[in-house]
Amino acid sequence: MFEGKKRTHVISVGTPEKVNYSYDLKQGALLQLWRGQFLDVTEMWKDRGEPQLAKPLGAVLPLTAAPAIAALADKQTAWPDSIAFDDLQNKGYVLDKNKMLTFSYSSNGADVNDKIVVQSDGAAINRTISVSNSKGPLYCRIAVGTSIEALKNNAYSIGNKVYTVKLAAETKAFIRKTKNGEELLAPLATGADSLTYSLIW
Amino acid sequence: MKNSKYLLSLLLFAAGIAKTTAQTENQIFPIVTVPIPKEIALEVGGMTVLPNDELAVATRRGEVWIITNPYMKDGQQPKYRLFAHGMHEILGLNYIKGDVYLTQRAELTRIRDLDGDGEADEYKTMYSWPLSGNYHEYAYGPMLDKEGNMVVTLNLGWIGFGESMSKWHGWMLKFSPDFTMKPFATGFRSPAAFALNGSGDIFYAENQGDWVGSGSITHVEEGDFVGNPAGLIWADQPGSPVKLRKKDIPDTGEPKYDVAKRVSGLKTPSVWIPHSIMGNSTSGILDYSDSGNMGPFKGQLFVGDQAQSKISRVFLEKVKGVYQGAVFPFREGFSSGVLRMNWGSDGSMFVGMTSRGWSSTGKEEYGLQRLTWSGIMPFEIQTIKAQPDGFELEFTMPVDEKTARNAGSYKLSTFTYKYHHIYGSPVINQSSRNIKAIEISPDHKRVRLVLDSLKEGYIHEIRTEGIRSESGNTPLLHNYAYYTLNQIPNGEKIVATAENKPLGAMQADNTKQGMDHHHMGNMTTVTGKVTGNTAAEKHITKQPASWKNGPDKTILLGTKPGLKFDITNLTLKAGAKVKLTFANTDDMLHNFVLTMPGSGNIVGEMVMKMGLDGEKYDFVPNSAKVLVHTVLLQPGKSDTVYFTVPKTPGIYPFICSYPGHYTVMKGQIKVLK
Question: What whole-number distance in Å separates Cα of residue A104 and Cα of residue A131?
Answer: 10
| Residue B663 confidence (pLDDT) | 87
Q: Which domain holds residue A164?
A: 10-200
Q: Is residue A137 part of a domain?
A: yes
Nearest CB among A47, A85, A90 relative to B125 is that of A90
| Mean pLDDT across chain B | 93
- Whole-number pLDDT of residue A75: 86
Are B559 and B667 a contacting pair, CB within 8 Å?
no
pLDDT of B230 higher than 90:
yes
Say yes or no: B388 contacts chain A, CB-CB below 8 A.
no
Residue length of chain A: 201
How far does the CA of residue A172 sit from the closest CA of chain B (Å)?
Answer: 33
Averaged pLDDT, B368-393: 98
For residues B362 and B285, the answer to whether their CB atoms sit within 8 Å is no
Say how far apart CA B270 and CA B225 lie, in whole Å: 14
Question: Which pLDDT score is estimated for B17?
Answer: 45
Q: CA-to-CA distance for A166 and A157, rounded, in angstroms?
A: 9
Is B135 in contact with A90 (Cβ distance < 8 A)?
no
Number of helices and strands (H, E) in chain B? 5, 44
Residue of B nearest to A88 (CA): B128
A49 part of contact set with chain B, CB < 8 Å: yes
Bridge partners (DSSP) of residue B358 are none
How far lies B629's CA from each of B554, B580, B611, B643, B657, in Å? Answer: 16, 10, 19, 10, 9
Neighbours of B114 (CB within 10 A): 10
CA–CA distance, B416 with A189 (Å, rounded to integer): 67
pLDDT at B116 exceeding the cut of 60: yes
- Please judge whether A48 and B358 are an interchain contact, meaning their C-beta atoms are less than 8 angstroms apart: yes
Q: Which of A26, A46, A93 has the CB atom closest to B123's CB atom?
A: A93
Q: Taking CB atoms and an 8 Å cut-off, how many pairs form between chains A and B? A: 64
How many structural domains are present in chain A? 1
> Among all residues of chain B, which has the CA nearest to that of A12?
B86
- pLDDT of B508 reads 60
> For residues B447 and B580, what is the distance between their CA atoms, to the nearest angstrom?
54
Q: Does B118 touch chain A (CB under 8 A)?
A: no
Q: How far apart are CA A159 and CA A147, in angstroms?
A: 5
Domains and CATH numbers, chain B: 2-24+379-513 (2.60.40.1220), 42-371 (2.120.10.30), 536-672 (2.60.40.420)
- Average the pLDDT over each of B2-16, B204-218, B299-313 and give the range with the smallest value: B2-16
Tell me what pLDDT residue B4 has: 45
The pLDDT score that the predictor gives to residue B358 is: 85
Are B89 and A51 in contact (CB < 8 Å)? no
Asked whether the predicted pLDDT for residue B568 surpasses 90, the reply is yes
Q: Is the pLDDT of residue A110 over 50?
A: yes
Residue A16 lies in a domain: yes
- Chain A: residue whose CA lies nearest to B85: A13
Closest partner residue to A91 among B125, B133, B560, by Cβ?
B125
Task: Return the CATH number at A128.
Answer: 2.70.98
- Contact, B226 vs B270, CB < 8 A? no
E strand residue ranges, B257-320: 271-273, 282-287, 301-305, 310-319
* Helix, strand, coil percent values for chain A (each to nearest 5): 5, 55, 45
* Structural contact between residues B157 and B134, judged by C-beta atoms closer than 8 angstroms: yes
Structural contact between residues B434 and B451, judged by C-beta atoms closer than 8 angstroms: yes
CB contact under 8 A, B131 and A9: yes
Do the beta carbons of residue B643 and residue B554 sit within 8 Å? no
Q: In whole angstroms, what is the distance from residue B109 CA to residue B128 CA? A: 9
**Checking DSSP bridges between strand B666-672 and strand B569-573, what pairing results, if any?**
parallel
Proportion of chain A above pLDDT 70, given as a percent = 100
- Closest C-alpha to B58, from B39, B85, B98, B33: B85
pLDDT given for residue B1 in this prediction: 39
pLDDT in tens, B279-323: 999 999 999 999 999 999 999 999 999 999 999 999 999 999 999
Q: From CA B639, how far away is CA B327, in angstroms rounded?
A: 35
Chain A CB contacts of B131 under 8 Å are: 8-9
Side chain identity at B129, as an amino acid letter?
A: W
Contact: B356, A48; criterion CB under 8 Å? yes
Q: pTM (2 decimals)?
A: 0.89
pLDDT in tens, B500-525: 999 988 766 544 333 333 333 333 33
Please judge whether A47 and B357 are an interchain contact, meaning their C-beta atoms are less than 8 angstroms apart. Answer: yes
Nearest beta carbon to residue A47 from set B131, B133, B562 = B562
Question: How does strand B650-655 pair with strand B282-287?
Answer: unpaired
Closest residue on chain B to A48 (Cα): B357
Instruction: Calculate how close chain B gets to A101, using CA atoms only, in Å.
Output: 9
pLDDT in tens, B621-662: 999 999 999 999 999 999 999 999 999 999 999 999 998 899
On whether any CB of chain A is under 8 Å from the CB of B160, the answer is: no
pLDDT digits (tens, 9 = 90+) for A61-109: 999 999 999 999 988 899 999 999 999 999 999 999 999 999 999 999 9
Q: Do A50 and B121 touch (CB under 8 A)?
A: no
Q: Is residue A101 part of a domain?
A: yes
Strands A182-188 and A174-177 turn out to be antiparallel
Instruction: Give the model confidence (pLDDT) of B577-619 as tens digits.
Output: 999 999 999 888 999 999 999 999 999 999 988 888 888 899 9
What is the reported pLDDT for B562?
78
Spatial distance between the Cα atoms of B432 and A56, rounded to a whole number of angstroms: 61
Q: Is B217 helix (H, G, I), strand (E, B) or coil?
A: strand
In a domain, A89, yes or no: yes
Residue A4 belongs to a domain: no
Q: What is the structure's pLDDT at B613?
A: 82
A92 has a chain B CB within 8 A of its CB: yes
Whole-number pLDDT of residue B416: 97
CA distance B313 to B279: 12
B106 in contact with A at a CB cutoff of 8 Å?
yes
Residue in A8, A47, A97 nearest the CB of B106: A8
Whether residue B135 lies within 8 A of chain A, CB to CB, comes out as yes
Asked if residue A1 is part of any domain, the answer here is: no
Percentage of residues in chain B having pLDDT higher than 70: 94
CA separation, residue B531 to residues B244, B594, B608, B611 (Å): 42, 18, 11, 9
Cβ contact (<8 Å) for B356 and A8? no
Q: Name the residue type at position B242.
A: V
Would residue A110 count as lying in a domain? yes
B131 touches chain A (CB under 8 A): yes
Burial of B335 (0-12, 13-18, 19+ CB in 10 A): buried
Q: How far is the CA of B497 from the CAs of B435, B442, B450, B501, in angstroms?
A: 13, 17, 11, 6
Please, which pLDDT band fits residue B20 given cuts at 50, 70 and 90?
A: low
**Where does the pLDDT of residue B528 fall: very low under 50, low under 70, confident under 90, or very high at 90 and above?**
low
C-alpha dihedral sign at B605, B609, B612, B618: negative
Burial category of B123 from C-beta neighbours within 10 Å (exposed 0-12, middle 13-18, buried 19 and up):
buried
**Which chain A positions have a beta carbon within 8 Å of B134's beta carbon?**
52
pLDDT band (50, 70, 90) for residue B403: very high
Nearest CA in chain A to B110: A92
Per residue in B326-344, pLDDT (tens digit) is 999 999 999 999 999 999 9
Asked if B106's CB is within 8 angstroms of A47's CB, the reply is no
Q: Report angle CA B268, B270, B274 to the nearest 5 degrees.
A: 90
Residue A3 domain flag: no
